[in-house]
Structure 1
């Protein structure tokens, strides 16, 4: 089995889909059932617009079927040699032989379960290679909890691993100070500050357009700048625009970078790039590399530090600060959700009207602490 990603020549309904995953058999013919499923799951349903998600789905899908091929198994068989369900065999090998994390295994299993559900509907298999059981889960504590009529009962495939409660890692204010003090490169520090102040994802930081940075002297504000980020101009998860709030002090420093440092880097290359941050060779950072992770690890800090922790830190501190504010006219959860681009909380238009009218209230304690720290950096 081989995994490839399509070029612009791959079309569905006369529309090109560049970077779409396709599995090929050893004789280089298309794994047709797999392609049909991925087209349905990623395109037809209209819920997976991110190419980054396509890559993840393609690799997870390939991992299962490469395992099937390597062990001379038939994916249409409900049982494997009478020793157990085919998905269970793959699960156990992933854990014991390949030492994959439980979260990674469960993510892959969920995709394979969806494939078999689709395969059963299409008549490719006579039954599902797993059983469904009912489990009781802890009821969520949220403002929508009263709408849940399930009683905490959920139906789930028995091959899935029991999920363990994980703690989101967040930097404290003192750790943020240590992080910023440890970074000597001004360009890298700006990137980290942007992540801490807005909750942008790693790929969003690396592809953030220079056109989003404006001259604060021409457009003065008291608190923050509302910047609309678009998947048409940068890499985002999902296909919808969203707005982020960039603090005035950060926008001022980004503009100074645009004026003084970036032109020197840009002059190193004949090509002109749209990305704000350029590396020492004058090129944009690759979203597929671990450069950002590696640079954070080299700081030698006595706590875990990785790109996504910047996002967790922003969300947690912002939500905490907003919840402490009296007489808010909007829900803090929805504010943070919209800044991060999440879609898991159902909201109403009434709440959304307040999002861009909250002015200086979002210049919370967390942001003021960061600004204070930078005075001494």
Structure 2
């Protein structure tokens, strides 16, 4: 059995889906149930981002490889007292492969979704797992007063215990070291854009040139300027799930962006035969492809020069954490800190944003000044 990707675009309702995962047995016959599940789960809107497709395909591939290697039948859900196939695969991941619990949970999530689909199709008589009520730790922060769960939640009994891993972020000293270690002005602006806005990797790579304006020509009554990230405005902007949102950019940083666009970007723009919509261009004058994966390499290498382990998404965490602290220290601003950060980051649920509250609690004893003002102060140093 092998996991391959469609060599031709799969077209549904006029929409092409290239790079679609397909499971094939060694005999080259399709693994029909898994492939039907792919079409249901991936193409019918169950997963909004195509970036999640590879992890779904690999999870099913690895599970079926485990089944095949042990000469088992995935439809064998009535095993009596014996360990279920999914539980056996879970222990294989944790013990034999020594995978992290959260990685194992992600794989099991897709496998359990496959079995739920199989049950609806009548391929199995019951699920090889059950749901049980578990006591969960209730949040004491924002919106805790509307939680009517009583500290209880339904959980899949085959899942390993969830281990909350707080996102890592850079201190201001590390931010300063990272920027100081970056001589390339294009790479430095890439990092500053991430640090000032919290944009995701693909959003940085596609951030349009058209969004950069001369702040002196904008309304001078506001410190911050609003930018609407709109995937369908013809600018080439890409957001997660193609969801539009508005972000605030300080007038001072917009001035830095405008200076970069008018004084520095032309060096790379001249290398391309065509005009490019993206503000950030690679060494060939072209936009960063593959959702900006090469941004990770650039930022990681800069981190190594500064003696810091860093990746693109860590800059997003850095923005969120320091901005949240700054807003909490300035309650007179009239802004609800958590809601503001949620909107800036484009989180669908505020529960996702609440993870930064834990980080803030951990660093509550540290003296943290206004984040954006400190970054702007670094502009002349970096």
- Do Structure 1 and Structure 2 share a fold, with TM-score over 0.5? yes
Aligned counterparts, 1:1-377, within 5 A: 1-6=1-6, 9-44=9-44, 46-78=45-77, 84-219=83-218, 221=220, 222-232=222-232, 233-287=236-290, 291-299=294-302, 300=304, 301-345=306-350, 365-377=370-382
Structure 1 position 194, deviation (Å): 0.6
How many angstroms apart in 1 are the aligned matches of 2:111 and 2:146? Answer: 30
Residue pair 1:25, 1:31 contacting (<8 A) in 2 also: yes
Unaligned runs of 5+ in 2: 352-368
Moved more, 366-375 or 237-246: 237-246
TM-score scaled by structure 1?
Answer: 0.85
Structure 1 position 240, deviation (Å): 1.3
Cα distance change of structure 1 residues 98 and 79 upon mapping to structure 2, 3 Å threshold: farther
Unaligned runs of 5+ in 1: 347-363
How many angstroms apart in 2 are the aligned matches of 1:47 and 1:229? Answer: 24
Cα distance change of structure 1 residues 62 and 244 upon mapping to structure 2, 3 Å threshold: farther
Match of 2:364 in 1: none
Structure 1 position 122, deviation (Å): 1.9
How many angstroms apart in 1 are the aligned matches of 2:328 and 2:156? Answer: 38
Cα distance change of structure 1 residues 141 and 304 upon mapping to structure 2, 3 Å threshold: farther
Match of 1:355 in 2: none
Q: Helix, strand or coil for the counterpart of 2:290?
A: coil
Cα distance change of structure 1 residues 203 and 127 upon mapping to structure 2, 3 Å threshold: same
User: In the TM superposition, what whole-angstrom CA distance separates every residue of 1:151-174 from its partner, at most 9, and x where no partner exists?
Assistant: 112222222111223222122222
Q: Helix, strand or coil for the counterpart of 2:134?
A: strand
Q: Helix, strand or coil for the counterpart of 1:119?
A: helix
Cα distance change of structure 1 residues 274 and 94 upon mapping to structure 2, 3 Å threshold: farther
Residue pair 1:7, 1:17 contacting (<8 A) in 2 also: no
Moved more, 316-325 or 187-196: 316-325
Residue pair 2:205, 2:292 contacting (<8 A) in 1 also: no
Structure 1 position 149, deviation (Å): 2.3
User: In the TM superposition, what whole-angstrom CA distance separates every residue of 1:287-312 from its partner, at most 9, and x where no partner exists?
Assistant: 36753333333333344311111111
How many angstroms apart in 1 are the aligned matches of 2:372 and 2:179? Answer: 13
Moved more, 130-139 or 90-99: 90-99
Structure 1 position 251, deviation (Å): 2.1
Structure 1 position 119, deviation (Å): 1.3
